[in-house]
Amino acid sequence: MRVSLSEAGKAQASDEAKKNQDIDESSLPDSIKQILKMIRKLKEDLREKMAELQSVATDQGLDDETRMQRMEGLQSEVASLNGAISQATASLMKAMREAGLSGEQMLEAAQLLMK
């Protein structure tokens, strides 16, 4: 069996690789790189949900009840994403301690986390 990606699929895969190129090129262990990528994705998802929440809050085409229901759902998703980011960050800190990273690697990980 042969599987191939569409042009859109290839472009999306390429974009994902470029987003994390700095992480992939770092001197960090693979396990830490994976956690950093996960945190980056969660932060991106959070930004999208926050934008969606803002959009619903200002949508004059929605009646108040519908707006409130959608906002409550989005606020729940935002809270879940924040919790996931906190857990992933705690996992990152634990992995960094257990890996015995050098001071330089710790700084590198912190800089990548802030992006």
Query: 6 pLDDT exceeds 90?
Result: no
Fold of 29-114: Methane Monooxygenase Hydroxylase; Chain G, domain 1 (1.20.58)
Average pLDDT over residues 32-47: 98
> Mean pLDDT, the chain, as a whole number?
93
pLDDT at 3 over 80: no
Scan for tokens 């390429």, then name that residue.
14
More confident residue, 18 or 82: 82
Residue spans per domain, the chain: 29-114
More confident residue, 7 or 30: 30
What digits encode the pLDDT tens for the residues 48-78? Answer: 999 999 999 999 999 999 999 999 999 999 9
Spatial separation of the C-alpha atoms in residues 109 and 93, rounded to whole Å:
10
- Owner of token pair 């945190």: 39
Tokens of 60: 């004059």
Q: Cβ distance 37 to 20 under 8 Å? A: yes
Rounded to an integer, what is the distance from CA 113 to the centroid of its chain?
A: 10
Residue 109 one-letter amino acid = A
Reported pTM: 0.84
Predicted pLDDT of residue 11: 63
Quick check: 2 pLDDT over 90? no
In angstroms, the CA 108 to CA 99 distance is 14
Q: Mean pLDDT throughout 86-101?
A: 97
Q: Which residues contact 61 (CB under 8 A, 6 or more apart)?
A: none
